[in-house]
Homo-oligomer: A and B are copies of this chain.
């Protein structure tokens, strides 16, 4: 039941509105710095997919802060990205300070190290930066009062929970998550954008607007798809910047739209398929 709130649909027009021709006189700095924070030794691939997505979407500079064990996999899989050991506090904090957009969570896991990493990010982000909180970072935050207490207030926050993570974060049971108003109340309390990932994902924005994504399909229901979305989101925000709500809508729409096109010929659409089609798709829909 969707009580009282009108959910607008995101349509293909958002792409032409957001994806514009690059200014001729530009350099890589023009298109922003993205930091992906994630990938413990069990889930290094998640950070790699997020980073690779950010690179292929056109972020100016991408760094992947991950477990030290993932150094080689990062350099081999995404040579365009820089690597940082997220346990190397000095390098890590220095990076957090200099980037425009941070993705926190893909494949981060939920042990003590992960908690420390989340805390380091939370306590170092500043006003003007955008912080995308995904996956394990949402779970850690939901379960850990000491993290809640340092949730940044100055940076723009974007949460990308799937339904179980939203249940953990908001306290709203999955069965009750069709209550848009209740979702919105929880989102407003977070003072953040919330992208609730599900069949027909919903986007809750700080200004009270709610959007629904009708693109997307079941061929996308596979591990790593969410990690890929975070990289696309980060790169869109890094390069297209404002208005933030529209940039987010465009990123989310594009991720699913590429999958819809690929699903015509692929029974399952993998993250790497999406990544390989980003450059061509963006060119086609460039306004």
Can you list, as one digit per residue, whether each of A229-268 has a CB less than 8 Å from chain B (1) or not (0)?
0000000000000000000000000000000000111111
Contacts of A222 in B (CB 8 A): 28, 31, 55, 58-60, 80
A77 within 8 Å of B (CB atoms)? yes
B49 engages A224 (CB within 8 Å) = no
Chain B: which residue is nearest A27 at the CB level? B221
| Contact pattern, A 49-71, Cβ under 8 Å of B = 1, otherwise 0 | 10010011111111000000111
What does the 1/0 interface line of A137-159 toward B look like (CB < 8 Å)?
00000000000000000000000
Contact B44 A83 (CB under 8 A): yes
CB<8 Å pairs between A and B, sample of 30 = A22-B217, A22-B218, A23-B218, A28-B223, A28-B225, A31-B222, A42-B83, A42-B91, A44-B75, A45-B78, A45-B83, A48-B75, A48-B76, A55-B222, A56-B268, A56-B270, A59-B222, A60-B222, A72-B72, A72-B76, A73-B76, A75-B77, A76-B77, A80-B223, A80-B271, A265-B280, A266-B280, A267-B279, A267-B283, A267-B286
Bound: A23/B199 CA distance, A: 10
User: A112 at the A/B interface (Cβ < 8 Å)?
Assistant: no
Q: Determine how close the nearest CB of chain B comes to the CB of A34; give it in whole angstroms.
A: 10
Q: Is A219 an interface residue (CB 8 A)?
A: yes
With A42-B83, A75-B70, A81-B223 known to touch, is A24 a contact of B270 (CB < 8 Å)?
no
Chain A interface size band reads: 35 or more
- Name the B residues within 8 Å of A223 (CB-CB): 28, 55, 60-62, 80-82
Task: Collect the chain B residues with CB atoms within 8 Å of residue A199's CB.
Answer: 24-27
Taking a contact as CB atoms closer than 8 A, the residue among B55, B77, B267, B270 that contacts A270 in the complex is B55
